[in-house]
Amino acid sequence: GEKVEQHESTLSVREGDSAVINCTYTDTASSYFPWYKQEAGKGLHFVIDIRSNVDRKQSQRLIVLLDKKAKRFSLHITATQPEDSAIYFCAANPNNAGAKLTFGGGTRLTVRP
Amino acid sequence: EAAVTQSPRNKVTVTGGNVTLSCRQTNSHNYMYWYRQDTGHGLRLIHYSYGAGNLQIGDVPDGYKATRTTQEDFFLLLELASPSQTSLYFCASSDVGGSQDTQYFGPGTRLLVL
């Protein structure tokens, strides 16, 4: 089955700098790649996604890049703020399953003042 | 925004105990999911369902049963709890088939099996 690897388990950046979190996946049929954010003591909430028909998507300070050839996608957070500190999870939808997501292991992002 | 609630929020049981975790969503989503979250493993899908009476096997189903009694309610059952099932459990729902595949998560249930 699909496997999603999240390369950075922790990441620390200075406020105002950019943060980049990288993920790779194994199933070439995967077509939907969402990102979720988990703040301390809370459940996950959706932040941005990308589908395989595009290679870049931006929503305010968040940019997602998708390289289907390399089976790699990444989340870029620009102009980081303290409230960006959280655990970020990437995920992939294997085999166009419609519902099922396979998650990466998570990246704990700390934005230092 | 979709509302997903879970109960209890915390649970302690002993090895061999019987535990039921409850999840309710109030946005008429067709899909519901149970995940467990463990350090280093991210979220792993236990079971999911696309409607009342339906159950689909996830990636880590061993030791777990689930039942979807209504569109709103999805239960996770641990009939003989083991310490390896100590974890943080999340329920989620989504409206697959529409324009959004976003999963909406509940606040989580922390389970400790002694």
Say if residues A87 and A103 touch (Cβ distance below 8 Å). Answer: no
Q: How far apart are CA A67 and CA A55, in angstroms?
A: 7
pLDDT the model gives residue A93: 87
Q: How far apart are CA B23 and CA B26, in angstroms?
A: 10
pLDDT digit string, tens, across residues A56-108 = 999 999 999 999 999 999 999 999 999 999 999 999 987 655 578 899 999 99
Which regions of B1-114 does DSSP assign to beta strands (E)?
4-7, 10-13, 19-25, 31-38, 42-49, 56-57, 65-68, 73-78, 87-94, 104-105, 109-113
Q: Which residue of A has its CA nearest to B37?
A: A105
pLDDT the model gives residue B41: 83
A42–B59: do the CB atoms touch at under 8 Å? no
pLDDT the model gives residue B2: 58
pLDDT digit string, tens, across residues B5-52 = 999 999 999 999 999 999 999 988 999 999 999 987 889 999 999 999
Q: Give the dihedral sign, CA B53/B56/B58/B63.
A: positive
Closest CA to A47 of A7, A97, A107, A112: A107
Say if residues B4 and B67 touch (Cβ distance below 8 Å). Answer: no
Supply A51's token pair: 């589908």
Q: Give the dihedral sign, CA A48/A52/A53/A54.
A: positive
B101–A100: do the CB atoms touch at under 8 Å? no
Instruction: Render A69-96 in DSSP notation, one character per residue.
Output: TTTEEEEEE-S--GGG-EEEEEEE-GGG
pLDDT the model gives residue B1: 59
Cβ-Cβ contacts under 8 Å between A and B: the total is: 59
pLDDT the model gives residue A89: 96
Q: How far apart are CA B15 and CA B57, in angstroms?
A: 24
Q: How far apart are CA A66 and CA A74, in angstroms?
A: 7
pLDDT digit string, tens, across residues B41-88 = 889 999 999 999 999 999 999 999 999 999 999 999 999 999 999 999
Best A7, A10, A42, A100 residue to mutate vs chain B (most B CBs within 10 Å): A100
pLDDT the model gives residue B100: 57
pLDDT digit string, tens, across residues A4-60 = 999 999 999 999 999 999 999 999 988 899 999 999 988 999 999 999 999 999 999
pLDDT the model gives residue A112: 96
Say if residues B92 and B5 touch (Cβ distance below 8 Å). Answer: no
Residues of B within 8 A of A44 (CB-CB) are 43, 90, 92, 103, 105
Averaged pLDDT for residues B85-102: 83
Give residue for tokens 């992939």. A92
Supply A28's token pair: 């070439």
Residues of A within 8 A of B90 (CB-CB) are 43-44
Instruction: Render B85-104 in DSSP notation, one character per residue.
Output: G-EEEEEEEE-TTSS----E
Say if residues B68 and B52 touch (Cβ distance below 8 Å). Answer: yes
